[in-house]
Amino acid sequence: MLTGDIDAIKSSGYIEKYPYQMGMVWVVGNLYKIFRTTNYKLIQYINIIANIITFIVMYLILKNLGKKYKVNETIYWIMCLTFIPLILLTTYVYGDYIGLALCISGVYFIMKYKESNKIAYFIISAVTMALAYITKTNYLIIILAILIYLAMYLIQDIYKKRKRKIINNIVCIIVFMLITLIPFNCIKNHYANKYDGNDGKYSDFCLCWGCIIYPCGQLCI
């Protein structure tokens, strides 16, 4: 995609087989353009930075929870710094760690928003979660968790009959969904249209892959 070789992309069938990877392709491609390199070590260095951000933001979340609950900061740092897989797998060139740092940041800022009601925190949370979802679609589950978190406040306000807060929470839920979900679909559709991708082939690919794994694979092979 960086070289603009459309024929090579079409013949590879990558877009049809992995439409959920288009967000990560967009992120990595833009990082390569910004730093003017295609060296995979760039992503490894960014993974290290992302891990540091993850540890710091998780600590901030812990400090925030410490206002209401008893927390042990020492155990937190011991657990983080001795979790070897997270450290070793920074060499893994994929969207997991970049997405995780963005995802944890989104959780932190939505907590800050509910504490202070500052709209800036809400926007930062929505944008970081949108980028997390773009980078790694698995983080959709965290978006759903945040929506449930916001919905719990909505239910509380409905129970207490606070009309202004009910409207505010409904608007927040809708806006959060739009900001977090629309960008990835726009990117996916852009690549699909640009390179003549066909989402329908992804279902066929998954079906064939399932056939290969299970005994009925002879039918597909």
Total-model pTM: 0.79
Q: Which residues of 50-86 are buried (b: 16+ CB within 10 A; e: fewer)?
A: bbebbbebbebbbeeeeeeeeeeeeebeeebeeeeeb
pLDDT tens-digit readout, 13-26: 666 677 777 888 88
pLDDT tens-digit readout, 113-142: 999 989 999 999 999 999 999 998 899 999
pLDDT, the chain, mean: 82
Residue 109 has pLDDT above 60, yes or no: yes
For residues 141 and 217, the model is more confident at: 141
Closest CA relative to residue 134, chosen from 186, 57, 72, 174: 186
How many CA atoms does the CB half-sphere of 164 hold within 13 Å?
0
For residues 201 and 138, the model is more confident at: 138
pLDDT tens-digit readout, 23-63: 888 888 888 888 988 888 999 999 999 999 999 999 999 98
For residues 136 and 190, the model is more confident at: 136
